Chain A
């Protein structure tokens, strides 16, 4: 441990930040470094202080990537009172290491089990709640409405229709799907959706929690469907060299017609020059009929470290964060969906579509890299990327993933 501490000046600086904490002051560490989330955070903190004049909030804002390693330092070295993190298995290592505080009482005292119902499972470990969800967003296929209209394609609802639409687009010289896999995670979206539609949510959870071998025929069935798109050349070339933003111009220029992405991508589409009426949103089509439909909706959360000095006010903050009015305002700024089901959803076509889709969902997956253990996630997504470039390597990839699974989940 000493090595870790001495190596990282960051840990030291955070320690200096928060030693001055006293009752009536809470320190929040978070990674809201992009302009929009930053604004939402600033508003949230200002409003919270207005509502609780006796509490002062100190906010340390980190950049995204740095935060992921910094949090491990400050949780063990000198913990702030509230930290931003993610739901599901992503918070499990911290919970298991005893670094997060059990906040079940905040949930029961405020009737949140009912109001935050959709996210409750992903906040629960060992029957206790470990944090407070405040926002999520939907995933789905964004497509060019005008191109679909030109080609006479109606938004596909089944796999067969999707294949037919893709064939038609390809024949017209338009690549059906754009994607950038350099950062690996966009491949996770594809795998998850195909898996959710082929095998269902329960299987997704079993697989990501390491209970099913990757050599299972059901996993192979997912790749078979994926292969139908890959082998037909329905994805853009050279996607392994570009990031997800670099794949957007393909859609904007009309070289590609569809993009499986999270709702945050809409802002980028619009910045790229697409008008709102050119963009359509469709739910990922059905593959195995009769399987209860689950969706991806990664959830962002706040937690109280077990080493926090002012847990009382920190709990006040979490309760405040969970309330419908606060979630309404915050998500209006974020352009995402409130988790609280009594909150008002933002006025936006895509969020509206997402809200309807998610509220009818059988279950919500957190995304492959948040549901699976970190090491498995990395190996898995690397395998997905390889499959998308070399589909013939499938058996080798699956064997490799199985080797990793056997080691990670012993």
Chain B
């Protein structure tokens, strides 16, 4: 513990306590504003939501304590299971954006004339707003004039209105979601590829490794950190999928493309909703599901750091 302040420059008389504990206190002082915000705007609302979820409340009148009533109702609500199932489909299919992003990154990681242009074009879907993505895909799928409907009509002689068909609607929205998500994963991998040790690749080549073998044994292990981050953002992104569902179908037709986050919004805040307690109960369930994944990631991250 060497004192950083030289005796000459410390004109002001500083208190003994501050001098002694400066190094331990300084980081906390810097952290304090952020932590305060985190407590007020993240932690407290979480507990408030949990509190509200035990009440029957329309946002205006009295909060009526009903214990686990909202949760009991949730377990008996068909829409909840539809949303849960759709969230699961989202979770699994959304992960496709990781290999897709890797493929795009490998393809773009070449030195060809104009590659920067291609890179930016590939990155484009991530830049535009999810709402715009949703609208574009809504038109793409639209019956009568949508490109996709025309295509299916040409191929099968029959139109498939993806967003009006309970069998396809969730997949249709996920495809729209995969478009920007793939671009995101691609960027993560492109940065990862920049950091690859060229000597190792060279050495592997001299040992006769090429193609898939080279990728699997040399490149991919070095992309580990990028894959990890891509996993985290994709899993979290799939669980909080909201904007696309809201823009493209509003949970329809008849609730078949419902997901938990939209269901929560609809129950608590939409035109026909204002059941704050019920919405909060859904939020708590979603929170618990996310906690499972986040904990898994954190445990893994800690283990890696310890090994490193």
Contacts and interface: CB of A to CB of B under 8 A. Distances in A.
Contacts of B271: 65, 68-69, 374, 378
B287 interface: no
Contact of A240 (B159, B164, B274, B276): B164
Contacts of A158: none
A183 B252 CA distance: 9
22 contacts: A3-B45, A68-B271, A69-B270, A72-B59, A72-B60, A75-B60, A182-B249, A237-B161, A238-B144, A238-B159, A238-B161, A238-B164, A241-B141, A241-B161, A246-B142, A378-B271, A378-B273, A382-B252, A382-B254, A386-B254, A389-B166, A389-B253
B142 A378 contact: no
A261 B45 CA distance: 43
A184 interface: yes
B253 A240 contact: yes
A237 B253 CA distance: 13
Interface string A53-83: 0000000000001001100100110000000
Nearest to A376: B272
Interface of A: 2-4, 7, 65, 68-69, 72, 75-76, 93-94, 96-97, 99, 181-184, 237-242, 246, 369, 374-375, 377-378, 382-383, 385-386, 389, 400, 407
Interface residues of B, number: 35
Contacts of B266: 378
Contacts of B276: 4
B60 A400 contact: no
Nearest to B254: A386
B161 A240 contact: yes
Contact of A407 (B49, B73, B159): B73
Given A3-B45, A382-B252, A239 B275 contact: no
Closest 7 CB pairs of A and B: A378-B272, A241-B164, A238-B161, A240-B164, A386-B254, A240-B253, A238-B143
A374 B271 CA distance: 8
Task: Report which residue of B141, B164, B276 has the largest number of chain A beta carbons within 10 angstroms of its beta carbon.
Answer: B164
Given A93-B58, A240-B254, A382-B254, 20 more contacts: A4-B276, A7-B45, A65-B271, A72-B274, A97-B61, A182-B164, A182-B252, A237-B159, A238-B161, A241-B161, A241-B164, A242-B164, A246-B142, A374-B274, A375-B273, A378-B272, A378-B273, A382-B255, A383-B254, A400-B78
B27 to A, nearest CB: 29
A374 B166 CA distance: 24
A382 B272 CA distance: 12
B143 A76 contact: no
A327 to B, nearest CB: 27
Interface secondary structure of B, over-half rule: loop
Interface string B47-85: 011001000001111000000000001000010000000
Nearest to A255: B144
Nearest to A387: B254
B272 A369 contact: yes
A375 B272 contact: yes
A389 B73 contact: no
B73 A242 contact: no
B286 interface: no
Contacts of A242: 142-143, 164
A389 B281 CA distance: 31
Contacts of A375: 272-273, 275
Contacts of A97: 58, 60-61
B201 interface: no
A28 to B, nearest CB: 21
B253 A385 contact: yes
Task: Report which residue of B45, B60, B162, B254 has the largest number of chain A beta carbons within 10 angstroms of its beta carbon.
Answer: B254
Contact of B163 (A241, A369, A374, A389): A241
B219 interface: no
A75 B60 CA distance: 9
Nearest to B249: A182
Task: Report which residue of B52, B61, B275 has the largest number of chain A beta carbons within 10 angstroms of its beta carbon.
Answer: B61
Contacts of A240: 161, 163-164, 252-254
Contacts of B249: 182
A400 B81 CA distance: 14
B173 interface: no
Nearest to A380: B272
A7 B61 CA distance: 18
Contacts of B231: none
B60 A76 contact: yes
B140 to A, nearest CB: 12
